[in-house]
Amino acid sequence: MPESDGFHPDFPNDAAQRPPRNRVRHVKSTDLDATTAQTDGMQRFAALSGATVGSEKLWMGETIAAPGMSSANHHHGESETMIFVRSGHPEFVFLDGDDEVRVRTDPGDYVFVPPHLPHREENPDPTTPAELVIARSSQEAIVVNLPALYAL
């Protein structure tokens, strides 16, 4: 892709090698980066990150939750995570004390996941994927996969 479009998949995460921060960057939906951290049952794609646009504090991308899937339990380290449900009806599961909480969503809903909170995403629809737009307060996608919904 031409440099003028602002997408630089070959830039390392080293700050000295990131794209310059003196202009607007444009990443087309067809140029998302699938080499981000993954969790079983989900496909994550980076759009705006340190490597693609030179961001220092934010990461943004999307996740596809396959029909009938349940992700692995995981958390996102120090990152605050904000989610916009573009399509489908994904569910977010976490523990509140000893109680399992299930947040059911609809297209257009927003979800906030605090730092270090173990959770998982589920897509109970047996035929339709759920599409989510993700923003995090770190420049890259942090994913720590866990064996269970409790902090280790």
Within a domain: 134: yes
Amino acid at position 134, single letter: I
Q: φ, ψ for residue 66 (rounded to 5)?
A: -60, 155
**pLDDT, tens digit, for every residue of 12-45?**
445 556 566 667 776 777 777 766 766 666 777 8
Question: Which domain, by its residues, includes 64?
Answer: 32-146
Average pLDDT over residues 54-82: 90
Within a domain: 65: yes
Number of folded domains in the chain?
1
Which pLDDT does position 47 carry in this prediction? 82
Considering only residues 25 and 137, tell me which one the structure prediction assigns the higher pLDDT. Answer: 137
How many alpha carbons lie under 13 Å from residue 142 in its C-beta half-sphere? 19
Within a domain: 1: no
The token pair at 122 is: 């589920």
Within a domain: 23: no
- 119 and 92 Cβ atoms separated by less than 8 Å: yes
- 5 and 26 Cβ atoms separated by less than 8 Å: yes
The reported pTM is 0.77
CATH number, domain containing residue 86: 2.60.120.10
Alpha-carbon distance of 17 to 37, in angstroms, equals 21
